[in-house]
Amino acid sequence: MKSRWCTVIASHVLNEVKELPSNLVLCSGVCFVALGAPRNDRCRLLLMMNRQYYVYLMTNRHNTVLYTGVTNNLKRRVYEHKEGLGGGFTGKYKVNKLVYFEGTEDVYAAISREKQIKGGSRRKKIDLVNSMNPEWEDLYDEL
C-alpha cells in the first residue's frame, strides 16, 4: 500500500507563531500538520526549520577502516559510535575516531553526498580526509 502525503506547514521560528489556524496542530515540535490526516501518512515538509545535516567519516585507532555516515546531530552520533551504541559495522571494527565532516542545511544534499562518498574509492576517501585533517586527529572534541 502506497503512503499518501499530507500537507505540512512549517514555521521557520516557532516562537513567532502566536496563533494557529484551527485545522493545524504541532507535530513533533518541528512542523504543523493538518488535522484529520491519517496517522500512518508520511509528512512532506514544504518549509523546514533551519536544521543542519552532516556527512562524516570515521575510522579506527590504526586508520585501517573507513566508515561514512550522515546525521542531523553530529556530536550525538559520534558519541554513539564511541560508546559502541547501535552495534553493527562500527562496533565490530571499533570505528570510534571522527576524522572528517561537512555540513549542509539540505537533507537531500547530505544523503546524496553520503552516497557519493560511499561510492568512491578508498583513495578518494583518504584524500578527502587529508584535505581537512592531514594528521587524522580525532575531531570530536572540536564539535
Residue 12 has pLDDT above 60, yes or no: no
CATH number for the 53-142 domain, one of 3.40.50.300, 3.40.50.980, 3.50.50.60, 3.40.1440.10? 3.40.1440.10
Amino acid found at 29: G
Place of cell 578518494: 124
Give the pTM. 0.67
User: For the chain, what is the mean pLDDT?
Assistant: 76
Q: Structural domain boundaries of the chain? A: 5-45, 53-142
pLDDT tier, 131 (very low <50, low <70, confident <90, very high otherwise) = very high
Q: Within the chain, what is the greatest distance between any pair of CA atoms?
A: 58
- For residue range 26-54, list pLDDT tens digits in order: 444 444 445 555 444 444 443 344 589 99
Residue 81 CB neighbour total at 10 angstroms: 23
**Phi, psi values for residue 44, rounded to 5°:** -100, 120
- For residue range 68-100, list pLDDT tens digits in order: 999 999 999 999 999 988 778 888 999 999 999
